[in-house]
Amino acid sequence: MQIALLVDSATRLDLALIKKYNITVIPVPVEIGGVRYYEGSDLNLEQYQELVADNQANIAQIRVTELTKRLELLGEQGYDTVLGLCPASGLSTLFSHLQACNHEIDNLNVYAFDTQVIGPLQGQFVQAAAELIASGDEIHTILRKLGRMRQQLQTFIALEDLTVLQNQGYVSNGKKFPGKNLLPLKTLCSINDTSQLEVMKTRLRSKQAYTELQSWIYTSYDRLEERMQITIIGAYDNDDFYDYWVPNLRQDFPKAKLVFAPLGISTTIRLGTKSILVSFGPSWREFLSE
């Protein structure tokens, strides 16, 4: 069995990792001012920031026809199985579109796995899957191990620009928000078991939001300690992220491995420029063995 890995550009994978495991990356289409661009292909973060100064940006759907062409190419390269590691299906159509592609290409089996996270947080699933493929695991064994990993990871998202959610309709549990936030208040969300973004608490100041997050992490930290990995994603020019959340996580959870990365274009469009994403649980390496 020859298994190919497929992800979207929101993962912001290192080029070295992509080359090492021959990972297929599908650029997320972004529409700005009526023009379609592709994240990481013909649009980087700097260009995006210039273009959105006077225009509204939206995520466009990755077309099934585009996916089919990529999958056909993988079949021509000798792969008989494709594992797509998808963002939370409530925030992206990649999962459903990959499912639609299964059985469309002769001699190629397509498996779509909903990671129930988004953006660079998907990267830990990519690393685990790549190692499992390299070690020779069968596809159903890989899916089972990734499922265990998904069950034991928790993800929370602190949002400030709630108009992004209102415009794009990502929230599942019908909370009502003010039309515009004049104060730097935050809303804490999680991605639930059905891959929908769900509001937990709203109208929190940054310190309150962090205290809530801290209490949730402590419930796992006492058990895991040095086995814990905390991944935090945000904009490096966001004072809350870089000057408050990151150093406090380091101080409060000194035995955990802390990984942090910047927001990408598509994650910024979906969740807003001031969003902070935090995922915690056992390190992905624990799920490589039974």
Domain boundary pick from 149, 183, 215: 149
pLDDT at 182: 39
Q: Report CA Rg, the chain.
A: 19
216 sits in the region (left: phi over 0; alpha: psi -120 to 50; else beta) called alpha
pTM of model > 0.75: yes
Residue 96 and residue 180 in one domain: no
Residue 144 and residue 236 in one domain: no
Least-confidence region, from 141-150, 225-234, 266-275: 266-275
Total domain count, the chain: 2
Q: Give the confidence band of 263 by pLDDT, cuts at 50, 70, 90.
A: confident
pLDDT at 136: 93
Residue 159 and residue 76 in one domain: no
pLDDT at 161: 61
Residue 118 and residue 201 in one domain: no
Q: Which residue has the higher pLDDT, 176 or 38?
A: 38
Structure tokens at 169: 């309709």
The values of phi and psi at residue 211, to 5°, are: -60, -40
pLDDT at 59: 87
| Residue range 135-185, pLDDT digits in tens | 999 999 999 999 999 999 999 999 876 555 544 555 555 444 444 443 457
pLDDT at 226: 92
Q: Which residue has the higher pLDDT, 237 or 174?
A: 237
Residue 47 and residue 125 in one domain: yes
Residue 138 and residue 177 in one domain: no
Report yes or no: 55 and 81 within 8 Å, Cβ to Cβ.
no
As a whole number, mean pLDDT of residues 240-250 equals: 88
Least-confidence region, from 70-74, 145-149, 240-244: 240-244
Residue 103 and residue 120 in one domain: yes
pLDDT at 170: 54
pLDDT at 199: 86
Q: What is the percent of the chain where pLDDT is above 70?
A: 91
Q: Which residue has the higher pLDDT, 229 or 202?
A: 229
Residue 17 and residue 122 in one domain: yes
pLDDT at 178: 44
58: CATH: 3.40.50.10170
Which residues partner with 30 through β-bridges? 37, 59
Residue type (1 letter), 169: G
DSSP run (H or E) holding 188: strand 186-191
Domain region containing 158? 152-287
